[in-house]
Amino acid sequence: MLMLLIDSGNTRIKITYLINQFRQTEDLLVLEHDQIEKLREWCNTLPEVPARAIGVNVAGEDIAHQIQQALPASCGLHWLAAQAQTLHLKNSYTNPAQLGADRWMGLLGLAEHRQHPELPAMLVSFGTATTVDTLDADNMFMGGLIFPGVMLMRASLHKGTANLPAIDLRKSEVPPAFPHSTEQAILSGIIAAQAGAIVRQWKAVLDKTKQQPKIFVTGGARHGVLPELLRLLNDIALLQGFDTITLQEIESPVLDGLRIYAQAEWNH
């Protein structure tokens, strides 16, 4: 049986598949929202007709409907939602279903990346929004942050003001602390806001758990922020008497989580 795994995000849709129980493919389809019709063509190239699809969707009902329409008629689609508990993962939200399904599956996907499960883990996702979510050593979701992503910050400054330019944020370097141009001021401001929020949460996790959290980062907008984030984290780690902090980059934690969920379902 071939099962599709679908991560329908605010900006892009990522799709891969599993064949039978554990056979994972490297085939990955990435679509913009106006390219969903290509999903129909892609399904026709697969080794067999998809029997089922599971996924998460944060892009709205219209996108969900378009995805369903692009799948073969015989392929049932089930959208997952956050729950009070999914496998080993536990949810501290007052209303567990209110947590974004993509964030929930992303945290589930950390299971195959955590080399030190006895330590808290932070998942930082640099997407349309930046999210910072934390698991404790008992796999309890402690809570998280949501704030405008790198490109949203850039767009809001450009569109919401008369004179501020749209800047290039693809550079991967520590921005100047005292900018000498408007472009540098915007770049430094955005990166400082992103990195500062993450460092604040790192310190909050440390204070609450008395353990240094491991940080996992994902998302296409991460590269410009990482040098400054590492600099700030290591400055504060030095004050705390810790060794050098490293960040682990992972490409598709949501798809990893969907795969873990699907494999557990097959075994059930």
Q: pLDDT tens, 186-225?
A: 889 999 999 999 999 999 999 999 999 999 999 988 999 9
Please, are residues 56 and 101 in contact by the beta-carbon 8 Å criterion? Answer: yes
Top CATH class of 2-82+255-267 equals alpha beta
What is the average pLDDT across 120-141?
Answer: 97
Between these two residues, 155 and 171, which has the higher pLDDT value? 155
Q: Where are the domains of the chain?
A: 2-82+255-267, 114-249
| Fold agreement between 2-82+255-267 and 114-249 | yes
Q: How large is the greatest C-alpha to C-alpha distance in the chain, in angstroms?
A: 61
* Cα 134 from Cα 154, distance rounded (Å): 26
pLDDT > 70? residue 227: yes
Closest residue by Cα to residue 107 from 88, 94, 80 = 88
Which helix (H) or strand (E) segment holds residue 5: the answer is strand 2-8
Pairing of strands 85-86, 89-91: antiparallel
* Cα 134 from Cα 146, distance rounded (Å): 12
Exposure string for 137-162, b = 16+ CB within 10 A, e = fewer: eebebbbbbeebbbbbbbeebeeeee
* Cα dihedral 96, 100, 101, 103 sign: negative
pLDDT value for 23: 59
pLDDT > 80? residue 157: yes
Mean pLDDT is lowest, of 90-94, 134-138, 167-171, 211-215, for 167-171
Mean pLDDT is lowest, of 107-111, 148-152, 240-244, for 240-244
Average pLDDT along the chain: 93
Closest residue by Cα to residue 63 from 123, 3, 10 = 10
* Phi, psi for 163 (deg, rounded to 5): -125, -10
* Cα 89 from Cα 153, distance rounded (Å): 32
DSSP for 245-261? Answer: --EEE-S-HHHHHHHHH
* Cα 104 from Cα 135, distance rounded (Å): 11
Top CATH class of 114-249 equals alpha beta
pLDDT value for 158: 84
Find the length of the chain.
Answer: 268
pLDDT > 80? residue 84: yes
pLDDT value for 174: 80
pLDDT value for 176: 86
What is the average pLDDT across 211-240?
Answer: 93
Please, are residues 90 and 140 in contact by the beta-carbon 8 Å criterion? Answer: yes
pTM of the model: 0.93
pLDDT > 60? residue 22: no
Tens-digit pLDDT profile for residues 159-184 = 888 777 777 776 667 888 899 988 88
Tokens of 147: 């704030």
Please, are residues 147 and 221 in contact by the beta-carbon 8 Å criterion? Answer: no
Tokens of 133: 């979510």
* Cα 117 from Cα 133, distance rounded (Å): 15
pLDDT > 70? residue 24: no
What residues act catalytically?
102
